[in-house]
Amino acid sequence: MTKLFLTTALAACIALPALAAEPAEGEKLADRQTYDFWLLDAVKTLDPQKNTDRPGADVINQLFEGLAIEDARGAMIPGAAESWTLSDDRKTHTFKLREARWSNGDPVTANDFVFAWRRLVDPKTASEYAWYAELANIANASEIIKGEKPATELGVRAVDDRTLEVTLTQPTPYFLKMQSNTALFPVPQKVVEAEGDNWTRPGKLVGNGAYVLTGHDLGVQVTMKKNDNYRDAASTILTDLKFTTVNDVNAGLTRYLAGELDYVEIPAGQYPRLEKEYPDAATVSPNACTYAYIMNLSDKGPEALKDKRVRQALMLGMQRDIVVNNILQGGQKPAWTWTHWAIEGFVAPDNPWEKMTQENRTARAKELLAEAGYGPDKPLTLTLQYNTSEDHKKIAVAAQQFYKQLGVDLTLNNVEWKVHTDRMQNQDFDIARYAWCADYNEPSTFLDYFRSTGKNEGRFVNADYDAALDHSKTAEDPSGDYRKAEAILADEIPAVFVYHYASVAMRNPAVKGVPLENPMNTWYAKDLYRIAP
């Protein structure tokens, strides 16, 4: 990994001009450089250290900039840092910051990062994303979160105004990839300290991103204009951004069609029709989340699921093609791995089940169940719990039918979201619907979930699996370890992987530069531009 890491860093240093909006030959820019983005829900916070979700990140990514940002494919390129180096023991990262200014004209310094990162882990901040610093293995992060050490002990320090040094507790191959998450963005110490919890209000918020906040009506809209103090303001083309909250996807679609929005998600099942009617606007792009039915393997789980043959039968009986092609119809892909297919550097292991036809899979599933002692005399009964949503319901009803063909009686249990989550975290379920989304563009973000010490709500325990992932942290090239881990999941079946997400959206074809190949769905308005009709 060092080699790979250093070459990336080196390449980044040489190719200094960062990505920016670059109109192609012959494209005429529109007079009005605006972008109207749709959000499903109110933005919970504009505070980078307190944000926890994708919509919040879409907004904050325009207002602030981390050390490294993502290019159109999701690879890391210099952001607030112009270059970086890694020590020989791979535990110390040193970032050289660019000369840049906050939107109020103050210089961006290494201290602003130190302040922000300490703030993330400080119990006083009580950030729901404090665990991100633990995931990054920043020295002392865990102790500070627990309140055992003061926040000033965090392994990050400003060597001088433009040099930031980060100390990790262990080599962390994905550390650089974590930098595009808002949790690690810098915040202006002076403003935050002066304004307290109100510092994110329009007129007060100061950022180092390409745009400045001009308005925020909770649950209605967020507006921004171009930041002339941004380091690359000269190549930023869009001048005004508007993020409109429309809670109803169908209402959002109507408003897109009425020309009020430039982007809106396509409601489930409508992609085929819209793709025919608006081929230029209906788009599909990978979205790094995986949908799964988690099996409860803990002591509180059903006895039947402790038998690997039963789990394999359930995995085989899941007719993924029907889910993807007949129910979702929006460019999703059948899932045979936990890691999303579009994650950078991920190569799936060979999976014999995947190559079989569904008839053969179903036949094999019946055999496995019979071997495990289940059949017409002793039918298998299980409960599937899912949270309220039309789509989850459709898939659950389909699963009920698929499993009926195997002679399995699946009872559906629909509960409200918080109840669902609460029960899952207390191992109070048989099989539960779940989805996991990548925190960074690397397989370990998925695979760490099933570690015996991971979130792992079904309490899957496998020593070989843990060993493979332990090894990956220090391996020159961890991809072999990741393949091995996936192969274990494909055989042990701690969960039935159903499908890999895709983002299906209507996007105004006049807005160019939208990155459709980045599975993290990160986009920066500074890279976009609007062409004349």
Partner 1 sequence: MFGFILRRLAVAVPTLLMLIVVSFVLMHAAPGGPFTQERALPPQVLANLEAKYGLDRSLPEQIWTYVSGIVTRFDFGPSFVYPDRSVNDIIAQGFPVTLTYGAIGFALSVVIGVALGVVAAIRHNTWLDTLAVGVSIGAQVLPNFVIAPILVLVLTLWLRWLPGGGWGGWPYWVMPIIALALSHMASIARLTRSSMLEVLGSNHIRTARAKGLSERAVILRHALKPAMLPVISYLGPLFVTMITGSVVVDMYFSTGGIGRSFVDSALSRDYAVMMGITILVGALTIFFNLLVDVLYAWIDPKIRY
Q: Which helix (H) or strand (E) holds 287?
A: strand 282-295
Q: Which is nearer to partner 1, 12 or 246 (CB)?
A: 246
Quote the least distance from Cβ 193 to partner 1, whole Å.
15
Q: Tabulate helix, strand, coil % of the chain (nearest 5).
A: 35, 20, 40
Q: Which is nearer to partner 1, 106 or 128 (CB)?
A: 128
Quote the least distance from Cβ 447 to partner 1, whole Å.
15
Q: Which is nearer to partner 1, 274 or 365 (CB)?
A: 274
Q: Which is nearer to partner 1, 260 or 354 (CB)?
A: 260
Q: Decide if 383 contacts 420 (C-beta within 8 A).
A: no
Quote the least distance from Cβ 461 to partner 1, whole Å.
17
* Other residues' Cβ atoms within 10 Å of the Cβ of residue 55: 19
Closest CA to 2 of 479, 475, 345, 347: 475
Q: Which residues contact 470 (CB under 8 A, 6 or more apart)?
A: none
- Tally of residues, the chain: 533
Closest CA to 39 of 212, 260, 276, 263: 263
CA 249, CA 38: separation in Å to the nearest integer? 10
Binding site for partner 1 (CB under 8 A): 42, 44-47, 50, 52, 123-124, 126-128, 130-131, 134, 142, 145-147, 197-201, 217-221, 244-248, 250-251, 254-255, 257-258, 260, 416-419, 421-423, 425, 434-435, 455, 457
Q: Which is nearer to partner 1, 189 or 474 (CB)?
A: 189
Question: H helices within 24-177, ranges in order?
Answer: 54-63, 110-121, 131-135, 141-146
Q: Which is nearer to partner 1, 11 or 251 (CB)?
A: 251
Quote the least distance from Cβ 336 to partner 1, whole Å.
23
Q: Which is nearer to partner 1, 294 or 328 (CB)?
A: 294
Q: Which is nearer to partner 1, 297 or 406 (CB)?
A: 297
SS3 track for 353-409: HHHCCHHHHHHHHHHHHHHCCCCCCCCEEEEEEEECCHHHHHHHHHHHHHHHCCCEE
Q: Which is nearer to partner 1, 244 or 521 (CB)?
A: 244
Quote the least distance from Cβ 283 to partner 1, whole Å.
21
* 254: exposed, middle or buried (Cβ count in 10 Å: 0-12, 13-18, 19+): middle
* Other residues' Cβ atoms within 10 Å of the Cβ of residue 79: 25
Quote the least distance from Cβ 419 to partner 1, whole Å.
5
Q: Decide if 35 contacts 169 (C-beta within 8 A).
A: no
Quote the least distance from Cβ 75 to partner 1, whole Å.
25
* 509: exposed, middle or buried (Cβ count in 10 Å: 0-12, 13-18, 19+): middle
Quote the least distance from Cβ 144 to partner 1, whole Å.
10
Quote the least distance from Cβ 107 to partner 1, whole Å.
25
Q: Which residues contact 307 (CB under 8 A, 6 or more apart)?
A: 372
